Amino acid sequence: MLPSRLIPPPFDPGSVWLVGAGPGDPGLLTLHAAHALAQADIVLHDALVSEEILSLAPQAVLESVGKRAGGERTPQLRINQRLIQLARQGLKVVRLKGGDPLVFGRGGEEALALVAAGVPFRIVPGISAGIGGTASAGIPVTHRGLSRSVAFATGHDSSGDLSDIDWASLSRGVEVLVLYMAQRQTGAIAERLMAAGRAPDEAVALISDATTPRQSVAITTLAEAARAVTTAGAPLLIVIGPVVALRAMLVGLQQTEPMTLRAEARHQSRNS
């Protein structure tokens, strides 16, 4: 429930809200996101969105359109078509994505599809894992004297080809790199970064299940990252740079317990 002094915008039937669910902790949802979930008729959600967050949509049908790496995937075109179909039925449709819908979430593609179909929509930003997950791990992505620049990059695409990313320029151009979906390509990425001049002993953090009760953080080096990642959990966020050293100074007193919810029975849900 939203604070009584806040007046949320209307969620009109026949519209789609592209909503960021944040990195995992239900407490990191925005008020717009909580309002959308409470009003939705149907929620099309990613595989990584937690049951706790889904429980905040009490009247909605839940439809999984997840894309777990190495597992079953729902084609993006089918998701686009489904959003349009449901909106044209006069429903209040939420497309719920982990993190932020426009940061490696393909929300831009969905928004363009909705525009082409004449479907009204709203984009509800969420806290991206590269911001929220690193903060929860005690790693500021920027810090005076250590890091004045940070880049967010994906280590995975549908082809598995890394050549579309200029790793040499990234290596030389920014002090901190935050990699999403790079677990399978960690070794190849590390080799390219070291070949471009990054030090083999540069600190690397491997953050899994960020902001959840299962969060774990492993510290390694660029040269050892490929070996260390084999024992890390998933989903995995990789941070490379001098700010990783700050974790040792912050973690002892940092409070990271996520928000919890009372257990309530869920109702209707279905797979895509």
- For residue 209, which of 231, 233, 186 has the smallest C-alpha distance? 233
> Rounded CA gap, 261 and 109, in Å?
33
Cis peptide before 8 (omega within 30 of 0): no
> Rounded CA gap, 43 and 258, in Å?
23
Give strand pairing partners of 177: 151, 240
Catalytic entry in 46, 92, 97, 209:
46
Instruction: Give, in order, the Cα–Cα distances in Å from 245 to each of 60, 145, 219, 242.
Output: 44, 13, 9, 6
Residues 6+ apart with CB under 8 A from 250: 138
* Secondary structure (3-state) at 116: helix
Is there a catalytic annotation at residue 194?
no
Is there a catalytic annotation at residue 46?
yes
For 181-242, where are the alpha helices, taking DSSP H only?
186-195, 225-229
Is there a catalytic annotation at residue 181?
yes
User: Which tokens in the block code for residue 232?
Assistant: 């890390």
Catalytic entry in 92, 97, 100, 181:
181
The residues annotated as belonging to the active site are: 46, 67, 181
